[in-house]
Structure 1
């Protein structure tokens, strides 16, 4: 059996088991005192369900819910459109500084009363368009509680990198106050060769590289939730500091093995960069069936990066290339949403959102040879966007088994570029959405969806940047970039079995306009003559995409319990992505850039609950990632990422986890053509391999 066919064999085996014993499945679910089916499409998980996993935080608990995967938003335009699928006490966090994984990790498992899973269209008005929602309900308590986690990561050439995260929560009457602090350090050591060949394959030169890099981060934040009369008020904020570095040394050798030179690459930054965010919301009722929520958010950051590469070839002058970038992004969002339940069988939400996004980007580069310095024109761009989005949604309960959600968002926005790039454009988009769910029974759900999405613009792609580690490759800013629009038709089937098992398959087909990919950026002088051509992000017309996702959680108690063994579980997640777009350089059909065709992950877990020991392993592998530049085809691939761990959960201080992380090897093949890729004539082939040292991580996590 081939590796690729194994997941399908597992699916067939699991499906055969499910179909052969539906009565047994129903009996197992009904027997469980820890899972309550409240209504069609709703299940409630109480503490007993999670006991065998010895969870420390709410994140540990949510990750054990069968058939549920956390979604923290997927890059759509607008605060409302980026809602994830996890709520805390019925509310969506009014923050972008922390993702939902971090927020859940701050809630002690002992403070969770229960977790509710809803699997129906319009699962909750707090998360537009989500057909599956988890709501973490905390206990009503007046004691101080919190979580803590300490990490030490070590490797043969890394030293030790400690990280600490802690949070404390105080609840008094109707007020909850939380304070959190975190620090994080990361170090990576890599080494490997890079070979240069002619277009015909003749070996020319080899470069041996070794380097180390790191990233440090510290943050402090907090929130307060209270009631002012009948209104709920939530305020939150965070300040974050970041720093990073990268150092790489290279030795050059000729095809005959002679030492012909050396290279030193340095990257520094962000340089003590500071970012902060303040946000909040207020929610109140204007009537027994009319509820209003107002959300506000402001973010600001400073992002700095300096880089240089010095090459010293025997018998030639020393050359140095240096870059400097200073970016300052900011964002302000105001949103109002109103929920009306005055019409029987319908839940209507309407409102609007106003957003202002800004990026002040400054970039400069200079080259020096034998003391002579050549400065390149600076690239200073100010990008501003004002966006207004009115919206309306209706959730229609057709019956106990069917729910339909229909809605639409209208967008009116203006984008302005000033500085070295001058442009002004106005956009008008309509983003309709329709979703329907059929809850066959408490175990099986079908979901059908059609929607139009507008992807978020990355403002940094309007500004020029340069990668000194890739032969000073220029990523030119593109003033003509517009958002990508996607119409998606999708279907999903999800089935639960044996209380803790699930199987899910999703497929979708997408029609894309203004597809964003790599495009040639042409610079011309005043007379219209071409002075230079670079690669950059741009739009290349219409495309088609299709995706498939298979997820299986398979507990083995039904097989191993007769032999006195329980707690073994396997989870598989597989994704397939394909697309067709017309290449702007060759005119031929191809896949989109920077997206692998497939990826798979296997997780094995064995909970020996009576001993407080957990064994486990994770394996992740994905297909090659292709990129199509003006004069280059690039293919990147990575090996299998492996994580093997053991946990001990019965320490008084918490859970002790030891894991060995084997970071995947990396390979990059660059095929550089004469003139452009359309010529079909190879000029140079560059093959790069990089190996990374494995890491050992020791983690102690607990709650109080």
Structure 2
């Protein structure tokens, strides 16, 4: 990694050239800027923005605040939470984009939602009808095929917009596969040897519709979407030592969800108002069955989740000062029941049947001040109150109230450099699934529900330096420091005759991250149309382990993650190709009686695209060229870690091998 960083820094020095006006809060990149890369959609264009890293948001976050990504469309955030931001951007043909604006904190009339940088896709104002059809097929060495088909259509007139999309696809889990499974005693003696073979795939069907039109002096938008996912996994574990044995597990999970969204924007004198409402409902059904040596174990989970949100914002902009005020109210409900049985005999689980209700309200205000073209200040705060109630196996009601202030300073000392300083308090969201017990027959673990959880709170300080490289490149270095209260990790839940692992608060923690985001054209190095890209995060966290009393990292946080890639545009050949290395990751999970390490080896992908005409594109990709493996090591103790001796060690290595895929795309209209 150090060598890679040095090469990137050297390339940045070689390629340094005139900037695109770093003192502005908004940089506009016309469609012609992206032409050499032959983009098909707005999503392809977003990937070429200097200094920008795409963030699709998190649809699992309850409410709108924090769920949105960092891309706007015609100055507005997409209204749907269920439909991914990437899918929305892929639905916008490149020919429909007039320009893309790179907007920094302090820009007038933009809902930044605490983000330092957002991109705004501005569509052509002309009337047009456009569409896209995409068909693909990916095959895997380990077995299985993943076909896909997507159809999209949009019709835009001067005052109305209709968008329709539908798709069906299969996604094969590329971290599954086959390989050895070994078990050792605490003294490293081989106790069991065998093989593990897993095939997992998810079938996804979804459809969405959107409609915009002027109403009452403002603009109304409505969105409807439905989605169904069915995941199936077949797992075979065979032992050859010390004696032959066989275990078969069949896992099935079906998720069905629907969403309706309405949004209305209107100018009211010197103010602009935005009102948004959403209702989302999802149903989950899962069932796992294991048969081993004539014995049968069954685990199941059923749940229904509902979310209803209303959000309103009033925004006023002046020459140097801007003000946003607003509020959001939400009701979230989860009804869930889990079951576990062995040979028809039920096993009692803590918090197996739960109803969770959350009533939450948030008020917020943000002020932006631009005292000069090179300096912008954004300060604000959110105040959140909520009541969380549990019914079922556990009866509990809790209330929370949190202030979340933030401040962001952006300074441009030169025409090519920008510096950002941020200080903010963040409050995590409790995962409703952490309140409900679940069992994994494959890993032979039970995770208990814990109704006593409280959200973690984090003070974050961040420093970022952005340097523009020529007219199309950039390097962004970011350093973050987090001080965390009530870290959510793992704790034991004990009762009469049982002890289970559960999510829980384990005290204070800290986290330091260093991130590099680089887009470096290498034309001046003799590679015309070449682009080197790096998005890498180095992370170190520390917390006190509740089982041992010793310092360790926070569970499920890899020390290094990211990717480095090279691509080359070949306009004269109507082609493009590239290679990407996804850096290997290692994660640890610390249960009360187990330490699990999961390691994914570095994976290499290769792609090539060809455009026989402006309307057609063919893409061929080969992924996991080096057959990077997914490894798991489990150190299982005879009781509480730190006081009980090590019982055994299990090691598993799965190889799914490479995959090859072909995609054919046809754009219509525009």
Considering the TM-score relative to the shorter chain, is it more than 0.5?
Answer: yes
Distance 1:412 1:196, change over 3 A: same
Give the match for residue 32 of structure 1.
none
How far has the Cα of 1:643 moved from its partner?
1.1
Please give the alpha-carbon distance, in whole angstroms, between the structure 2 residues aligned to 1:623 and 1:37. Answer: 38
Distance 1:618 1:246, change over 3 A: same
Please give the alpha-carbon distance, in whole angstroms, between the structure 2 residues aligned to 1:467 and 1:45. Answer: 50
How far has the Cα of 1:47 moved from its partner?
1.8
Alignment of 1:307-318 (within 5 A): 307-312=288-293, 318=294
Please give the alpha-carbon distance, in whole angstroms, between the structure 2 residues aligned to 1:306 and 1:645. Answer: 38
Give the match for residue 694 of structure 1.
658
Give the match for residue 233 of structure 2.
246
Structure number with larger C-alpha Rg: 1
Please give the alpha-carbon distance, in whole angstroms, between the structure 2 residues aligned to 1:127 and 1:334. Answer: 19
How far has the Cα of 1:208 moved from its partner?
1.1
In the alignment, is residue 596 of structure 1 matched against residue 571 of structure 2?
Answer: no
Output one character per residue of 1:584-604: Cα deviation in whole Å (capped at 9) or x when no partner. 111111111111111231111
How far has the Cα of 1:120 moved from its partner?
3.3
In the alignment, is residue 502 of structure 1 matched against residue 474 of structure 2?
Answer: yes
Give the match for residue 275 of structure 1.
257
- Is contact 2:142–2:177 with CA below 8 Å preserved after alignment? no
How far has the Cα of 1:39 moved from its partner?
6.5
Structure 1 gaps, min length 5 = 30-35, 313-317, 524-529
In the alignment, is residue 175 of structure 1 matched against residue 179 of structure 2?
Answer: no
Please give the alpha-carbon distance, in whole angstroms, between the structure 1 residues aligned to 2:23 and 2:346. Answer: 71
Give the match for residue 526 of structure 1.
none
Which among 362, 365, 389 is matched to residue 340 of structure 2? 365
How far has the Cα of 1:618 moved from its partner?
0.7
How far has the Cα of 1:220 moved from its partner?
1.1
Report how many residues are paired: 662
- Is contact 2:23–2:374 with CA below 8 Å preserved after alignment? no
Please give the alpha-carbon distance, in whole angstroms, between the structure 1 residues aligned to 2:361 and 2:451. Answer: 22
Output the TM-score relative to the length of structure 2.
0.96
- Is contact 1:117–1:134 with CA below 8 Å preserved after alignment? yes
Output one character per residue of 1:196-248: Cα deviation in whole Å (capped at 9) or x when no partner. 11110100111212231210011111100111142111110101122121111
- Is contact 1:196–1:206 with CA below 8 Å preserved after alignment? yes
What is the RMSD computed on CA atoms of the aligned residues?
1.8
In the alignment, is residue 329 of structure 1 matched against residue 305 of structure 2?
Answer: yes
Please give the alpha-carbon distance, in whole angstroms, between the structure 1 residues aligned to 2:569 and 2:644. Answer: 56
Alignment of 1:675-690 (within 5 A): 675-679=639-643, 681-690=645-654
Give the match for residue 6 of structure 2.
9
Matched residue of 2:372: which SS? coil
Give the match for residue 438 of structure 1.
411
How far has the Cα of 1:143 moved from its partner?
2.3
Please give the alpha-carbon distance, in whole angstroms, between the structure 2 residues aligned to 1:613 and 1:147. Answer: 20
- Is contact 1:85–1:132 with CA below 8 Å preserved after alignment? yes
Q: More deviation in 133-142 or 182-191?
A: 182-191
- Is contact 2:635–2:650 with CA below 8 Å preserved after alignment? yes
- Is contact 1:623–1:637 with CA below 8 Å preserved after alignment? yes
Distance 1:519 1:567, change over 3 A: same
Q: More deviation in 106-115 or 637-646?
A: 637-646
Distance 1:119 1:654, change over 3 A: same
Matched residue of 1:49: which SS? helix
Output one character per residue of 1:69-89: Cα deviation in whole Å (capped at 9) or x when no partner. 112335766412333211001
How far has the Cα of 1:147 moved from its partner?
2.2
Output the TM-score relative to the length of structure 1.
0.91
Q: More deviation in 325-334 or 669-678?
A: 669-678
Give the match for residue 527 of structure 1.
none
Matched residue of 1:72: which SS? coil
Output one character per residue of 1:239-286: Cα deviation in whole Å (capped at 9) or x when no partner. 11221211111211224xx42x1110001121xx42100002101122
How far has the Cα of 1:37 moved from its partner?
4.7
How far has the Cα of 1:398 moved from its partner?
1.6
Output one character per residue of 1:161-199: Cα deviation in whole Å (capped at 9) or x when no partner. 311112111112301011111111123461111111111
Distance 1:556 1:123, change over 3 A: farther
Give the match for residue 524 of structure 2.
558
Which among 301, 317, 320 is matched to residue 345 of structure 1? 320
- Is contact 1:41–1:442 with CA below 8 Å preserved after alignment? no
Give the match for residue 68 of structure 1.
52
In the alignment, is residue 88 of structure 1 matched against residue 65 of structure 2?
Answer: no
How far has the Cα of 1:701 moved from its partner?
2.1
In the alignment, is residue 201 of structure 1 matched against residue 188 of structure 2?
Answer: yes
In the alignment, is residue 146 of structure 1 matched against residue 118 of structure 2?
Answer: no
Matched residue of 2:452: which SS? coil
Matched residue of 1:610: which SS? helix
Please give the alpha-carbon distance, in whole angstroms, between the structure 2 residues aligned to 1:366 and 1:673. Answer: 24
Please give the alpha-carbon distance, in whole angstroms, between the structure 2 residues aligned to 1:121 and 1:545. Answer: 28
Please give the alpha-carbon distance, in whole angstroms, between the structure 2 residues aligned to 1:450 and 1:542. Answer: 19
How far has the Cα of 1:690 moved from its partner?
0.8
Which among 534, 551, 555 is matched to residue 572 of structure 1? 534
- Is contact 1:56–1:654 with CA below 8 Å preserved after alignment? no
How far has the Cα of 1:442 moved from its partner?
4.1
- Is contact 1:656–1:698 with CA below 8 Å preserved after alignment? yes
Alignment of 1:414-429 (within 5 A): 414-429=387-402
- Is contact 2:140–2:656 with CA below 8 Å preserved after alignment? no
